[in-house]
């Protein structure tokens, strides 16, 4: 069964070094927050560092507007909506209660201004105006929102409106909101900067961003606050430090100050005790192995996605990579063909397990070259070497 055997290769590099005498760093228990639900994760690796009731369905309040603004930017990027498009403000949008941008019925407002009104001022009026412009009605926009919910795999979220005002069957979870935040950051990098803007003035009225951490912590650059009596005070935040980006979601606190304070606890814990390691880039050659019966005598293997992990700070030397490669590889080989596995471990725990793939296709050699390799393989199989 030599053709089904694996050969094991250990990789040593600046990033991946096994040291038997190294000790695992000590990590304290995560902070317990005065919040009904929360989650903290590394945006690059997806590693969850802290969570409590993260799948519980709760009213999301104005955190709903993250999806409203996400869809608006998607429409802009697809060319369906222009930033300079002028939106005629309906009476429904003008009459919206709660936080407002103070747009006026019958007037026209640019999409770009509405976008800032949604993100910075948390305007319910701006949200409804945008929804009507994109989908014709808020109800139609809510249907679009839920299509995105399904596409993003947000299994504990359902939207009934574009604002987050209380409504039956309108809910989200901390985990799902973290997914939406990650998509906002990664899918719309050219627009994400709006979330860090501290002030927006429209119609002569200046309003500050309600995310207090934008003033307190230079690493924080977004995202969104929310509040209703049912939801409590909520905050989805993101911060970047030393190449590490964290996303936190804190739901159901008692005050504006509490949501900022409890979020800060999570972010401080994540940055202090964990670090992000970017190990391999997509398409990078990790190993080159012998190839039989091919036009080339070797095949390059790697992964087709970036490999990023999150580990306790100070444990880099304990991270180990192991390649398990098919012992006999024969042409033809197709690009992307699975020929082994990559395993990343820390203290015996598997952090990543990905298929090792052929980075390039290799065609079969001619008849006599294949025949000669077949003879050599026969004797290898016969004598086991």
Structural domain boundaries in the chain: 2-21+279-383, 37-253
- pLDDT, residue 17, reads 45
Phi, psi angles (nearest 5°) of residue 352: -140, 140
Closest C-alpha to 303, from 331, 334, 341, 330? 341
The tens-digit pLDDT sequence of the chain (385 residues) is 333 344 444 444 434 444 444 677 889 999 999 999 999 999 999 999 999 999 999 999 999 999 999 999 999 999 999 999 999 999 999 999 999 999 999 999 999 999 999 999 999 999 999 999 999 999 999 999 999 999 999 999 999 999 999 999 999 999 999 999 999 999 999 999 999 999 999 999 999 999 999 999 999 999 999 999 999 999 999 999 999 999 999 999 999 999 999 999 999 999 999 999 999 999 989 888 887 687 788 888 999 899 999 999 999 899 999 988 877 878 798 898 889 899 999 988 899 999 998 999 877 767 866 776 566 667 666 665 5
CATH 2.40.37.10 fits 2-21+279-383, yes or no: no
Cβ atoms of 88 and 108 closer than 8 Å: yes
Q: What region does 163 belong to: left with phi over 0, alpha with psi -120 to 50, or beta?
A: alpha
**Integer Cα distance of 73 and 259 in angstroms:** 27
The question of whether 65 is a catalytic residue gets the answer yes
- pLDDT, residue 8, reads 44
**Integer Cα distance of 173 and 58 in angstroms:** 6
Q: Which of 44, 54, 65, 90 is catalytic?
A: 65
Q: What fold does the segment set 37-253 form as a domain?
A: Beta-lactamase (3.40.710)
The first and second tokens of residue 103, run together, are: 């747009």
Phi, psi angles (nearest 5°) of residue 14: -60, -35
Q: Which of 45, 90, 99, 122 is catalytic?
A: 122
Contacts within 8 Å (CB) and 24+ apart, 77-82 = 77/188, 80/134, 81/111, 81/133, 81/134, 82/111
Q: Could you tell me which residues are beta bridge partners of residue 240?
A: 245
The question of whether 122 is a catalytic residue gets the answer yes
Q: Which of 44, 45, 54, 62 is catalytic?
A: 62
- pLDDT, residue 347, reads 86
Please report which helix (H) or strand (E) contains residue 88, including its range: strand 86-88
What is residue 97's three-state secondary structure?
A: coil
**Integer Cα distance of 167 and 59 in angstroms:** 9
Q: Where are the alpha helices (DSSP H) in the chain?
A: 65-77, 91-94, 111-119, 124-135, 138-151, 174-187, 213-216, 256-273, 367-383
Query: Taken in order 338, 340, 342, 347, is the CA torsion positive or negative?
Result: positive
pTM for this prediction: 0.87
- pLDDT, residue 9, reads 45
Cβ atoms of 123 and 65 closer than 8 Å: no
**Integer Cα distance of 303 and 342 in angstroms:** 8
Half-sphere exposure of residue 189: CA atoms within 13 angstroms, side-chain side? 1
- pLDDT, residue 378, reads 74
* Those residues with Cβ within 8 angstroms of residue 293's Cβ, 6 or more apart along the chain or in another chain: 330, 331, 364, 365, 369, 370, 373, 374
The question of whether 240 is a catalytic residue gets the answer no
- pLDDT, residue 237, reads 98
Closest C-alpha to 236, from 192, 189, 190, 188? 192
Cβ atoms of 101 and 123 closer than 8 Å: yes
Query: Which residue do the tokens 């990789």 mark?
Result: 11
């Amino acid at each position: 069964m030599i053709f089904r055997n694996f050969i094991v290769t250990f990789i040593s590099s600046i990033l991946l070094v096994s040291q038997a005498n190294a000790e695992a760093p000590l990590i304290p228990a995560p902070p317990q927050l005065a919040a009904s639900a929360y989650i903290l994760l590394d945006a690059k690796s997806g590693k969850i560092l802290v969570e409590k009731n993260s799948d519980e369905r709760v009213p999301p309040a104005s955190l709903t507007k993250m999806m409203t603004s996400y869809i608006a930017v998607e429409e802009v990027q697809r060319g369906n909506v222009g930033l300079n498009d002028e939106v005629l403000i309906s009476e429904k949008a003008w009459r919206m209660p709660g936080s407002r941008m103070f747009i006026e019925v019958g007037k026209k407002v640019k999409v770009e201004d509405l976008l800032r009104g949604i993100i910075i001022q948390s305007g319910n009026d701006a949200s409804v105006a945008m929804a009507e412009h994109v989908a014709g009605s808020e109800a139609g926009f809510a249907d679009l929102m839920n299509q995105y919910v399904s596409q993003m795999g947000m299994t504990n979220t359902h939207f009934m409106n574009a604002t987050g005002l209380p409504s039956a069957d309108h809910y989200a979870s901390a985990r799902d909101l973290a997914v939406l935040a990650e998509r906002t950051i990664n899918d719309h990098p050219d627009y994400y900067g709006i979330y860090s803007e501290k002030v927006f003035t429209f119609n002569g009225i200046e309003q500050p961003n309600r995310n207090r951490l934008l003033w307190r912590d230079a690493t924080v650059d977004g995202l969104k606050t929310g509040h209703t009596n049912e939801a409590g005070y909520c905050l989805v935040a993101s911060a970047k430090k030393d190449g590490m980006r964290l996303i936190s979601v804190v739901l159901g606190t008692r005050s504006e100050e509490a949501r900022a304070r409890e979020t800060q606890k999570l972010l401080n814990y994540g940055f202090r005790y964990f670090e992000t390691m970017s190990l391999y880039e997509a398409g990078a050659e990790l190993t080159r192995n012998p190839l039989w019966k091919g036009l080339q005598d070797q095949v390059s293997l790697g992964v087709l996605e970036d490999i990023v992990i999150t580990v306790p700070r100070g444990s880099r030397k304990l991270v180990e990579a192991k390649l398990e490669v098919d012992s006999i590889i024969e042409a033809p080989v197709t690009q992307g063909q699975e020929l082994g596995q990559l395993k990343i471990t820390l203290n015996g725990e598997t952090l990543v397990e990905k298929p090792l793939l052929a980075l390039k296709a290799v065609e079969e050699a001619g008849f006599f070259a294949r025949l000669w390799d077949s003879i050599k393989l026969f004797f290898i199989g016969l004598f086991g070497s």
